[in-house]
Amino acid sequence: MRLAVGSARGALRKLRYALMLLLGTCALAACGGDAARLSRLPADAVVLAFGDSLTFGTGAQPEASYPAVLETLIARKVWKAGVPGEVSAAGLARLPSALDYYQPRLLILCHGGNDFLRKLGDAQAAENLRAMIRIAKQRGVEVMLIAVPKPGLFPSPPDFYAEIAKEFGLPYEDAALKTILRDNELKSDIAHPNARGYAKLAQAVAALLKKSGAV
């Protein structure tokens, strides 16, 4: 009888251990994920950060904008092409000339916030983002997408950002701005990070670029 009980307990311990290993593996997969891959950026590659005031760096000095900090983190030239107050339709109209001028290997797209502020509708912002991505890809420019949260008590990005990232197979940063804009110590106002906030955004973007193989 004791032998049977001991064997049962041993089997139970082994089962628990196997379950712990399985759960640990699943947790790592959920946390790490399989980030969409990007081509390795040569040392002389140009990266274009394109968007509105979040890309411009409203709320901080120019040298503290996320593109400026990112340039130092990834050791690649990062041009800042952010226009405060710009809606996605205007960004779509501006993008082709920006791509022609800067000739980037990679486009970091962060747009849509002003559509939310002006209540222009998620569908319009989503279609304009899709059109911008198509324009970049037609020129052989790879794209990384940053989700912009909608204003509110707990700012969160709309679902369409994740859907677009999946549709086009893009590396996608969806957590950084949400976290920053929920923390008063990281904001200059209700809609913009301060220097510390932009630094955290740059760090998140750099981490994703590394994970995707770009740097």
The pLDDT of residue 152 = 82
The mean per-residue pLDDT over the stretch 72-101 comes to: 98
The answer regarding whether domain 46-212 maps to CATH 3.40.50.1110 reads yes
Contacts of 153 (CB under 8 A, 6+ apart): none
Every domain of the chain and the residues it spans: 1-33, 46-212
What's the chain's average pLDDT?
Answer: 88
Q: What pLDDT digit, counting tens, does each position of 178-213 carry? A: 999 999 999 999 999 999 999 999 999 999 999 999
Which SS3 state, helix, strand or coil, does residue 46 take? strand
Task: Kindly tell me if the per-residue pLDDT of 162 is higher than 80.
Answer: yes
The pLDDT of residue 8 = 47
The pLDDT of residue 20 = 40
Task: Kindly tell me if the per-residue pLDDT of 174 is higher than 50.
Answer: yes
DSSP 75-112: TSEEEEEE-TT--HHHHHHHHHHHHHHH--SEEEEE--
The mean per-residue pLDDT over the stretch 55-70 comes to: 98
The mean per-residue pLDDT over the stretch 65-91 comes to: 98
Task: Kindly tell me if the per-residue pLDDT of 135 is higher than 70.
Answer: yes
